[in-house]
């Protein structure tokens, strides 16, 4: 600026930076100052809904502001995603966004009505639900090696269920087929529950399912767990090996439940959201409740969640493309 000395310019710059920092700190201290709207793109009573309500209840206690869960199911999570993307970018509307919403849908739909990278700011990974390879009670195989050997010996004869084409359950089994050199028949269902019921009833041979959906079938002996698609063994299934132990470390898959805010939400507000949500996740009462549903809590930083989305996109999109999967 003309007429200002270097000292005056330096003082002005310092004042501007100080003002920005003060506003940022004020925003973090004051947020939230009113109710938070949490959109869940699944029906009430699903695991995604239970996770959101469990964390949201504690978040409301911690912040002193109501957290209003709004179920907007439909369009393979697209309806809820669109609703959240259109909301003001002020941190008061958030979306339960899993890997279906953020990773799979952009590859499965040519005309997707939202763009995850453009429309959302990642906040945190709420939880993971690792996949488990299951067989029904009629199956004579007792371990994953025997299952793979049988499926390899009879190409096109073994059928497997999934929660739907393009679901993580479906893609996890396709990944296993690629890694093990198998050719099985995919039978898609409308959700994991009916698929598990038919697996337990002996109508199908196998399925990949998250432990949360399958735990009551496993504990009752109606289905048998053969391997977990996780880096380490699961504490709930200590005797069940990982695929890595079987020589297939690439077979790793999980439902990834995250939280996203509309794009343009101020970084300081995103940071405050993440801190508050992570604190709620690690409250002992919340951990106990999530543990009852075999949900693995996380609470990662926005940067780590964003990096995970990128890694998952790079990992799954080529498989979806190779399979020629399109849902529109």
pLDDT, tens digit only, all 328 positions of the chain: 555 566 655 555 555 444 544 444 444 458 999 999 999 999 999 999 999 999 999 999 999 999 999 999 999 999 999 999 999 999 999 999 999 999 999 999 999 999 999 999 999 999 999 999 999 988 889 899 999 999 999 999 999 999 999 999 999 999 999 999 999 999 999 999 999 999 999 999 999 999 999 999 999 999 999 999 999 999 999 999 999 999 999 999 999 999 999 999 999 999 999 999 999 999 999 999 999 999 999 999 999 999 999 999 999 999 999 999 999 8
Which residues pair with residue 45 across a beta bridge?
none
* Collapsed DSSP state (helix, strand, coil) of residue 120: strand
Q: How far is CA 158 from CA 84, 95, 225, 240, 271, in A?
A: 41, 38, 17, 22, 48
Q: How far is CA 73 from CA 82, 83, 177, 259, in A?
A: 11, 11, 31, 16
* Collapsed DSSP state (helix, strand, coil) of residue 58: helix
Which residues in 175-264 belong to E strands, given as ranges? 185-188, 206-210, 224-228, 254-262
CATH fold of 33-127+254-323: D-Maltodextrin-Binding Protein; domain 2 (3.40.190)
Which residues in the chain belong to E strands, given as ranges? 36-40, 67-71, 93-98, 120-135, 159-162, 185-188, 206-210, 224-228, 254-262, 296-297
How far apart (Å, rounded) are the C-alpha atoms in residues 305 and 309? 6
pLDDT at 140: 87
The DSSP string of 69-111 is EEE---TTTHHHHHHHHTS-SSSSEEEEEEHIIIIIHHHH-TT
pLDDT at 27: 45
User: Of 210, 211, 154, 208, nearest to 184 (Cα)?
Assistant: 154
pLDDT at 24: 44
Which residues pair with residue 258 across a beta bridge?
97, 125
Which residues pair with residue 255 across a beta bridge?
129
**Is domain 130-246 annotated with CATH 3.40.50.970?**
no
pLDDT at 137: 87
pLDDT at 17: 47
109, with CB counted inside 10 A (0-12, 13-18, 19+), is: middle
One fold for 33-127+254-323 and 130-246: yes
Strands 159-162 and 206-210: parallel
Taking the domains of the chain in order of start, what are their residue ranges?
33-127+254-323, 130-246
Instruction: Answer whether 178's CB lies under 8 Å from 203's CB.
Output: no
Instruction: Answer whether 58's CB lies under 8 Å from 223's CB.
Output: no
Give the number of other CB atoms < 10 A from CB of residue 328: 8
Please give the structure tokens belonging to residue 272.
């405050």
């Amino acid at each position: 600026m003309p007429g200002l000395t270097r000292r005056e310019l330096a003082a002005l710059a310092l004042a501007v930076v100080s003002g920005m920092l003060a506003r940022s700190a004020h925003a973090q201290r004051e947020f939230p100052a009113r109710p938070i709207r949490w959109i869940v793109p699944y029906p009430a009573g699903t695991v995604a809904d239970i996770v959101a309500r469990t964390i949201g209840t504690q978040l409301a206690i911690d912040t002193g502001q109501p957290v209003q869960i709004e179920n907007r199911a439909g369009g393979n999570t697209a309806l809820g995603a669109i609703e959240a993307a259109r909301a003001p970018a002020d941190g008061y509307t958030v979306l339960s966004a899993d890997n279906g919403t953020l990773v799979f849908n952009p590859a499965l739909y040519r005309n997707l009505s939202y763009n995850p990278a453009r429309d959302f700011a990642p906040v945190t990974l709420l939880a993971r639900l690792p996949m488990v390879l299951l067989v029904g009670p009629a199956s004579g195989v007792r371990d994953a090696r025997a299952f793979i050997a049988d499926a390899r010996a009879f190409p096109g004869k073994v059928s497997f269920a999934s929660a739907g084409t393009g679901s993580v359950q479906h893609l996890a089994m396709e990944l296993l087929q690629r890694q093990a050199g198998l050719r099985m028949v995919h039978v898609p269902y409308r959700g994991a529950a009916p698929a598990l019921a038919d697996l337990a009833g002996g109508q199908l041979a196998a399925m990949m399912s998250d432990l949360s959906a399958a735990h009551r079938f496993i504990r009752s002996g109606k289905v048998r767990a053969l391997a977990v698609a996780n880096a380490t063994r699961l504490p709930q299934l200590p005797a069940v090996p990982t695929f890595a132990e079987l020589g297939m470390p690439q077979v790793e898959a999980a439902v990834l439940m995250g939280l996203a805010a509309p794009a343009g939400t101020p970084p300081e507000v995103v940071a405050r959201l993440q801190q508050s949500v992570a604190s709620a996740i690690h409250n002992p009462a919340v951990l106990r409740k999530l543990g009852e549903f075999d949900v693995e809590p996380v609470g990662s930083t926005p940067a780590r969640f964003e990096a995970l989305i990128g890694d998952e996109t790079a990992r799954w999109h080529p498989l979806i493309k190779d399979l020629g999967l399109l849902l529109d």
